Amino acid sequence: MPTAAIVGYTNAGKSTLLNRLTDAGILAEDKLFATLDPTTRNLNLPGGQQVLLTDTVGFIRKLPHHLIEAFKSTLEEAKYSDIILHVVDCSNPQMDMQMYVVYETLRELGVCDKVMVTVFNKIDAAEGGVILKDVSSDHQVRISAKTGEGLDELLNLLETILRNQKVYLEKVYSYKEAGKIQLIRKYGQLLKEEYQEDGILVNAYVPSELFASLANNADAVDE
């Protein structure tokens, strides 16, 4: 199953975002290191695909040396995730410094070559005229985890990113193979399901590692 890790400076709203999206019920308060243990929850995207979403410990400037190893262990999820959600408190006057600290910490921990989505959070509290831009990320979205504003856009963006990492599948399954369609629903994106006399016609995007077992002789196009 694809995975996405939520990272960011401490108190940027990472835990609030996870709670809002998944009803995780984890601690979310304005306190240093309020989240120390990674929390993973299943997230259902609008098209039916599932993704594992993990909250991580908040970063701080000049992290004490004795905490570096602890950070490494809590950020293993980020290192091996498919997508990084970099949550930024855009209402904080030190936003740019905090973004720099996050990127430097990720680099030191060996988290690289990931699809990076900058999530500008707390837009409900940001001052008018503030410039929200991150040239280091692949995608950017503006949200309020508190009010829910922009969350639909974030979910649709995640779905688009994951779809672009998949292979297009078009195949007619016999009714005896209907169980394979359940795999597609869980791990891919089912675009069309049409019941015919000879079986079930399916159009979908599926993970490349599952394509061979699902496709047999079907044609595929990389997206």
- pLDDT on residue 219: 45
User: Are 30 and 102 within one domain?
Assistant: yes
Q: What is the mean pLDDT of residues 205-221?
A: 74
User: Are 98 and 17 within one domain?
Assistant: yes
User: Are 154 and 188 within one domain?
Assistant: no
User: Are 126 and 26 within one domain?
Assistant: yes
The answer to whether position 118 is within a domain reads yes
User: Are 148 and 180 within one domain?
Assistant: no
pLDDT tens profile 168-209: 999 999 999 988 998 888 888 888 999 999 999 999 988 888
Cross-strand bridge partners of residue 99 = none
Distances (CA, A) of 8 to 57, 163, 202: 8, 25, 39
The answer to whether position 222 is within a domain reads no
Check which CATH number belongs to the domain holding 131 and give it: 3.40.50.300
Q: What is the mean pLDDT of residues 59-73?
A: 65
- pLDDT on residue 35: 47
User: Are 117 and 151 within one domain?
Assistant: yes
User: Are 106 and 209 within one domain?
Assistant: no
Residue type for position 104: E
- pLDDT on residue 185: 86
Q: What is the mean pLDDT of residues 8-30?
A: 78
Of the chain, the end-to-end C-alpha distance in Å amounts to 18
Place of tokens 């695909």: 49
User: Are 77 and 154 within one domain?
Assistant: yes
The range of the structural domain enclosing residue 189 comes to 166-215
User: Are 180 and 154 within one domain?
Assistant: no
pLDDT tens profile 76-133: 667 888 899 999 999 999 999 999 989 988 888 788 889 999 999 999 998 877 889 9
Q: Going by C-beta distance under 8 Å and a sequence separation of 6 or more, which residues neighbour residue 41?
A: 18, 21, 22, 24, 52, 53, 54
Confidence of residue 49 (pLDDT cuts 50, 70, 90): confident
Residue 221 confidence (pLDDT) above 60 = no
User: Are 133 and 82 within one domain?
Assistant: yes
User: Are 106 and 177 within one domain?
Assistant: no
How many Å apart are CA 185 and CA 183, to the nearest integer? Answer: 5
How many Å apart are CA 156 and CA 141, to the nearest integer? Answer: 11
Question: Which percentage of the chain shows pLDDT scores above 70?
Answer: 82
User: Are 44 and 107 within one domain?
Assistant: yes
Place of tokens 């869980």: 186
